[in-house]
A and B are shown apart, each in its own frame.
Chain A
């Protein structure tokens, strides 16, 4: 990292010393947070980011977050207990429910019959971990590589506030997303790629809305917002040159543009002009690099087979998982996959099956694929949604059908890689999988832990906005890194 010494050198000299002409913009950022400039000086393949980061050597260089939008049922996937077979059909006791507020969708029910999952569960791995055998035949095969956390909790019980909360640290709009914080703090490892990419797949169930704010930059500069990689049309918005205007023609045009801008620099000496020239060059390189990454033709068959047949379908979760690995290899810092369709208020048995058919094999494949390449060592993989679901049936419980309402008091997620314990379970809930009885993990603890893996002290990654040193984990409640799950 180059530091600018205002006493001994001019900005111009600093510019020259920092080599690529971008340092001055970073300086103007430091001097003047309101006038955020451009990408900053680099060393060791890191572009942008804050000079005091990482706070300590991190285990992870990058994060792949598989976000299951809609709220997957922890009870039907990971937080199973055999005693629930006995509880099946019994009324949820007040002693369990306590004064839990219920969403407006089931608060009117006069009966709350408990439902045991209508699936077969099995014990897997070294620690004999319960996993749904019917629905997760592949994920059950990687339990020895992941830590399953069963004691996540959130205050929000409706989709919009809950999904906003877990992704931005606040239930209301306006805060930067986790990925934006990472881009702001850590910069990117490949200038030719966006530092934070988002891929969305549809799922087959009820689609709850997503919002740009989930990958937005909030009060951070807009350059930190997630860039959507898209399966149809251009992989990145506006990436393709206009029809009839090829790359060679573009090159010639950019050369002229650069020459003209340099004339202008001679007149005004504004380092921002140099910064602009560089951004156009970056755009040009991005145009070459991104499409290549999106093209999976060169992947060996046995790798494609690992991710399952849907990998051939652009826009599928399987394809996105494979692309995530390719992005990770190319130095993208944060890759977030959103898979929609987990909101099973009714017909849960059939709908959750469809969802799992789409995600089980690819998610497990991603972990295995990273592992076999040695990348699981420095890649943090996260799987989970915005909340869990109720033990009681929403709507009528029949012989073979039920639904479940939203549940924020406990839910399950899993993590792998980057020093997260292999083959571990953390946190416990009660027999009804309704309340946490051991090792609660608030979603801000989860976020603090994700930052920790990257070498970031969540208390120190701050941005002054409206008088407060804002941070991802909020300024009110203290967040705690979940040390117990770290190897």
Chain B
């Protein structure tokens, strides 16, 4: 039916001259004969895709229709003999038969399929209009004149940026009398950052971009850094050949940059699975097949996937050639079974300017916070508050009569106060949880810190010990089990364990003092074991001699014998790691309870050991008369004040900690993106033909090497036998498909349809180009320009053809309803993303930020959990600016994509899509009328109109039209909308509650100074303007 009408139209309207094999005959043969008598199958030993074979079979008599059995079999009444057989459901029309007869009468000439022959440029032609005009002349159709300037600037701005022009941009163009006015507009748009977004959006469909993995759990992934790459590539006008090489084989480019590797993520966008019962190899083969299909389709317009199970039925691609192509993608390291939680290796850590910027700022903030702390510390001893506290505390302490405490206390973690206030009592530095949370234990009447082997706490207290300086550790411990672990440490596991720790091992206690573990370190462990499950007091002294003999260990005051396990220390133990409690930098997390940790900058003699087990060293100092206090004593008192009493200091250190945490969080989550990576040469995966395409039926008698189909040009001699070679082959200037397919896609973006209307199929089953010479002219031009994409786009939009009016005259309707001849400009509905972006833009809500991770704007409730695995996955809507970002950034969950875009024909992107459908449905009307996103845009646009300079309704309506349709409102339109306004004004004045409810749409604030009834009535007007056919249409 469809075919009949098309053919009838072609034959009658277009007045075809002589039969052209590629244009007229091949489509018939391919669609009705090749399946059984073509490249894939030769039933009855007849093959009709090659002239020689057809003549050999004796069915064609060139020049003699009557003698050609071929024709007889098409016309016979005998259903046994009739071709195609009735059950094939491929009956030929009489016009088609007539075409075939004419073809035979004219000599049954064959031509190679046009798209497999390299394009040649018709000489001496200056511009593309020549080709369009030539055909119009032949067909006897007059072209429409230029569209008016307002239509034109709206058309080109939407086409090149996906956004409407502002009224100022429109007026500037309308009033620009320079002959370069149009060029200026085009150059401005091509330089806009939104150009890259618009181009990337089309590419995202082809590249099957998504924010989730598709199959089974459809878990999240981060591929948006790849999307950023695409936007940047378009904006920086990366030549299409480089664009190609980097996306197909960026990882294989010698000394590939991070950006080039990132680009190769193109072929990691496909669907992956994590389903428990699945067969990993089956999945892996599916992934490779998807890459073959997508790559062949996007770059060559070939349906190569048809040759996975058998030779291609229509195009010259054998099954073996399919697997040669498959071999390029079959050697990757990513597994069949992939993750449902984030990115699956191989991946690359992405330089993130945003994060780097934030980190740099944080570094500054940290330094500033530290300076503030030090400045405060320096002046605190002079502050009256400190003196007042000291007097009061000293007076109180005098009566307590504590015994003498050792001097040179450097750090003291009493852990007695509430754990929230856990600080170094000497320096005042706070201790923060690095892993796990604070948990309280008990030691007699005092609180203790409880560790379960997963905890780690750290402090930026300046714990500075050195291999050649004496020190003492002291602590109350209650170990849980005999596992090894660090009570505390300042040690860098990743730098050969440089630093020190206070250590337990097999129920014994000791220390590592390390420059480089193994080569330059000291390790001493007590010979005595700690009694299990009991609180005990342990002390370790070190005399700064760098010798194991300089270490003494006391358990409950009793000197233990030592075991020396390393004794060759001679160099520094300083590390930038923080001091940690309960852990080393990454390992050795301790299990048990801890209390009263002390570090002295002195090796305490045995006589002073007992005192470290008891009391409060600070109370002791306070009890000492002021004139007898040492310098070290005063330091301790100051620290006590700072840590326990000084609110200013607490705020300063809290602020400092907060920034440190922000820095740690940022460092914790580096952004990655998935990339391609091949197995090393000695671990190459073999490729075999898979029988009937099945993953578990490899034909192992022959190893398949990477290669390209014979019907296409040879591989350049110097090309490596991998994806990089493939990419170079694709971008070889003589490749017949790459440039044609690319320019055809640009043409489609600008005209709604390609010159080859089957944009994704340049094979025998595809449609022939409407203007073959033009397609070739553009393709050659594209390659010769150095694959310059912006230049190509500019060339097309600069044409007369592009700038025509879209008005449909009756002659056009009759002769060229499908607008193949382009006597008029196409007029079509904007794609869903543009419709939403336009509403945001004209209301002023749009967030213009470019790039970044997916965002979650308004979505009706329960869309995700209704279908998600286990039913628990909730959509967490974003707030603020993220609600108003361009639609291309909407988080794309491929098993359940954003419904308001799906309704507007957005593909799910589970698979590569080259060309979107364009439908017109009632559900679309419901979206633009009722979706909160659009209702809110109406409200904000109404506010914009009300707040505009002129309060006359006609002026406001006019502004609305200028914003949404790029033209002034006409008198009749103003009348209609004024009536609508007044009717609603009356309605909302009578029913102010309704007005309030209506105005509540969306989360952006409303200007409360506007009368709600007036605002609501205008909102009806703006919603109407946003729903005009003209607003929704690219004209």
A158-B278, A200-B867, A240-B930 are known contacts. Are A268 and B808 too (CB-CB below 8 A)? yes
Of A74-82, A244-252, A434-442, A448-456, the one contacting chain B is A244-252
Contact A279 B920 (CB under 8 A): yes
Alpha-carbon distance A245/B216, docked complex (angstroms): 41
Interface residues of A in 201-239 (CB under 8 A from B): 202, 206-213, 216-217, 219-223, 225, 227-228, 230, 232-234, 236-239
User: For the complex, is B738 an interface residue (Cβ under 8 Å from A)?
Assistant: no
Tell me the bound Cα distance from A261 to B1012 in angstroms.
Answer: 28
Residues in B974-991 with C-beta less than 8 Å from chain A? 976-977, 979-980, 983-984, 987
If A256-B979, A270-B806, A467-B766 touch, whether A261 touches B926 (CB-CB below 8 Å) is: no
Shortest distance between the CB of B930 and any CB in chain A (Å): 4
Output the least CB separation between A473 and chain B (Å). Answer: 13
Q: Does the CB pair A38–B979 fall under 8 Å?
A: no
Known: A270-B806, A279-B922. A237 touches B899 (CB 8 A): yes
In contact, B997 and A34 (Cβ under 8 angstroms): no
Q: Considering only CB atoms, which chain B residue lies closest to A216 in the complex?
A: B908
Greatest chain B CB density within 10 A among A37, A101, A211, A279 is at A211
Residues of B within 8 A of A259 (CB): 976
User: How far apart are A73's CB and chain B's nearest CB, in angstroms?
Assistant: 16
In angstroms, Cα B996 to Cα A256, docked, is 23
B761 near A466 with CB under 8 A, answer yes
Q: How far is the CB of B330 from chain A (nearest CB, A)?
A: 18
Measured between beta carbons, the chain B residues less than 8 angstroms from A210 are 866-867, 895
> Quick one: which of A157, A211, A220, A340 contacts B218, CB cutoff 8 A?
A211
Contacting pair B926 A36 (CB below 8 A):
no
Q: Contact partner of B1024 among A31, A260, A405, A462, CB < 8 A?
A: A260
Q: Who on chain B is nearest to A227 by CB?
A: B923
Within 464-487 of A, Cβ neighbours of B (below 8 Å) are at 464, 466-468, 476
Which residues of the other chain, B, contact A211 by a CB distance below 8 angstroms? 218, 867, 895-896
B12 cross-chain contacts in A, Cβ below 8 A: 6-7
Partner of B765, one of A173, A230, A468: A468
Contact present for B925 and A35 (CB under 8 Å): no
Chain A positions within 8 Å of B286 at CB level:
172
A10 at the interface (CB under 8 A from B): yes
Question: Cβ of A283 and Cβ of B929 under 8 Å apart?
Answer: yes
- Are the CB atoms of A246 and B925 closer together than 8 Å? no
Please judge, given known A-B contacts A173-B911, A209-B895, A282-B922, whether A35 and B279 are in contact too, CB under 8 Å.
no
Cα distance A78–B837 in the bound complex, in angstroms: 54
| Interface pick from A22-30, A302-310, A316-324 | A22-30
A464 and B757 CA atoms in complex are apart in Å by 13
Q: Scan residues 883-933 of chain B and give those whose CB is less than 8 A from a CB of chain A.
A: 895-897, 899-900, 902-906, 908, 910-911, 915, 917-927, 929-932
In the assembled complex, the Cα of A123 lies from the Cα of B277 at a distance in Å of: 35
One of B439-447, B577-585, B639-647, B1026-1034 contacting the partner: B1026-1034
**Cα distance A333–B813 in the bound complex, in angstroms:** 34
Q: In the complex, how many residues of chain A place their beta carbon closer than 8 angstroms to a beta carbon of chain B?
A: 107
CA–CA, A230 and B867, complex, Å: 12
Q: Which residues of B contact A7 (CB under 8 A)?
A: 8, 12
Taking the closest CB of chain B, its distance from the CB of A460, in whole angstroms, is 5
- Interfacial residues of chain A within 28-64, with CB under 8 A of chain B in the complex: 28, 30-39, 50-52
Task: State in angstroms the CA–CA spacing of A268 and B215 once bound together.
Answer: 45
Residues in B whose Cβ lies below 8 Å from that of A20: none
Whether the pair A222, B976 counts as a contact (CB closer than 8 A) is no
Please tell me if the beta carbons of A206 and B2 are within 8 angstroms of each other in the complex: no
* B1030 contact set on A, CB distance < 8 A: 261, 264
A467 touches B921 (CB 8 A): no
Assess whether B375 is interfacial by the CB under 8 Å rule.
Answer: no
Among the 9-residue stretches B135-143, B198-206, B353-361, B998-1006, the one with 4 or more Cβ atoms under 8 Å from chain A is: B998-1006
Cα distance A329–B226 in the bound complex, in angstroms: 50
Q: How far is the CB of B310 from the nearest CB of chain A, in Å? A: 9
**Is the CB–CB distance between B997 and A174 below 8 Å?**
no
Q: Is the CB of A242 within 8 A of B930?
A: yes
Contact of B998 among A4, A212, A240, A244 (CB under 8 A): A244
Main SS at interface, chain A: loop
Residue from the list B214, B276, B994 in contact with A173, Cβ < 8 A:
B214
- Does A280 sit at the interface, judged by CB under 8 A? yes
A269 to B276, CA, bound (A): 57
B813 closest partner in A (C-beta): A11
| Interface flag for B807 (CB, 8 Å) | yes
Residue on B nearest A246 in the bound complex, by CB: B994
Contacts of A25 in B (CB 8 A): 920
Which B residues are in CB contact (< 8 Å) with A219?
Answer: 917
Q: Determine whether B763 belongs to the interface, using a CB cutoff of 8 Å to chain A.
A: yes
State whether the Cβ of B549 lies closer than 8 Å to any Cβ in chain A. Answer: no
Q: In the complex, A101→B765 CA distance in Å?
A: 38
Alpha-carbon distance between A270 and B861 when the two chains are bound, in angstroms: 38
In the bound complex, do residue A243 and residue B1000 qualify as a contact, i.e. CB atoms below 8 Å apart?
A: yes
With A238-B930, A257-B1024, A279-B920 known as contacts, the answer to whether A221 contacts B760 (CB < 8 A) is no
Q: Is the CB of A37 within 8 A of B920?
A: yes
Minimum C-beta distance from B93 to chain A (A) = 14
Interface residues of B in 86-100 (CB under 8 A from A): 87, 89
Residues of chain B from 6 to 23 with CB closer than 8 A to chain A in the complex: 6, 8-9, 12-13
In whole angstroms, what is the CA distance A257 to B808 when docked? 22
Q: Restricting to A178-211, which residues have a CB under 8 Å from any CB of B?
A: 194, 200, 202, 206-211
Q: What number of B residues sit within 8 Å (CB to CB) of A?
A: 123
Q: How far is the CA of A294 from the CA of B13 in the complex (A)?
A: 51
Contact partners of A476 in chain B: CB under 8 A:
309
Most chain A CB within a 10 A radius of its CB, from B860, B925, B927, B1027: B925
B869 at the interface (CB under 8 A from A): yes
- Contact of A213 (CB < 8 Å), options: B900, B910, B994, B1001: B910
| Residue of B12, B817, B911 with most partner-chain A CB within 10 A | B817
Chain B residues contacting A275 (CB-CB under 8 Å) are 920
A253 CA to B275 CA in the complex, in Å?
50
Query: Closest residue to B861 on the A side, CB-wise?
Result: A233
- Cβ of A288 < 8 Å from any Cβ of B? no
Q: Among the listed B13, B758, B828, B993, which residue makes an inter-chain contact with A35, where contact means beta carbons less than 8 Å apart?
A: B828
B214:A6 contact, CB within 8 angstroms: no
User: What is the bound-complex CA distance between A273 and B89, given in angstroms?
Assistant: 36
* Residue A459 lies at the interface, judged by CB distance under 8 Å to chain B: yes
A268 to B827, CA, bound (A): 9
Is the CB–CB distance between B829 and A279 below 8 Å? Answer: no
Partner of B753, one of A34, A249, A277: A34
| Least distance between A265 CB and chain B CB atoms (Å) | 8
Give 1 or 0 for each of B264-280: 1 = CB within 8 Å of chain A CB: 00000001010111110
Question: For the complex, is B613 an interface residue (Cβ under 8 Å from A)?
Answer: no
- Give, as a whole number of angstroms, the nearest-CB distance from A255 to chain B: 8
B9 with A223: CB separation less than 8 A: no
Interface residues of A in 260-316 (CB under 8 A from B): 260-261, 263-264, 267-270, 272-273, 275-277, 279-280, 282-283, 286-287
A36-B1028 contact given A213-B910, A242-B998, A270-B827, CB 8 Å threshold: no
Q: Can you name 17 A-B residue pairings with CB atoms under 8 Å? A: A11-B817, A30-B1, A33-B2, A35-B918, A37-B919, A101-B279, A172-B271, A222-B919, A238-B860, A238-B930, A257-B1028, A260-B1024, A269-B807, A269-B808, A467-B758, A467-B763, A468-B765
For the complex with contacts A209-B868, A244-B996, 19 further pairs of A-B residues with Cβ separation under 8 Å are A4-B5, A7-B12, A35-B818, A103-B276, A104-B276, A173-B911, A210-B867, A212-B895, A221-B918, A221-B919, A222-B905, A230-B866, A237-B900, A241-B930, A244-B994, A256-B980, A260-B976, A260-B977, A462-B89
Residues in chain B within 8 A of chain A (CB atoms): 1-2, 5-6, 8-9, 12-13, 87, 89, 214-218, 271, 273, 275-279, 286, 297, 303, 305-306, 309, 314-315, 696, 752-753, 757-761, 763-766, 806-810, 813-814, 817-818, 827-829, 860-862, 866-871, 895-897, 899-900, 902-906, 908, 910-911, 915, 917-927, 929-932, 935, 970, 972-973, 976-977, 979-980, 983-984, 987, 993-1001, 1016, 1020, 1023-1024, 1027-1030, 1032-1033, 1035
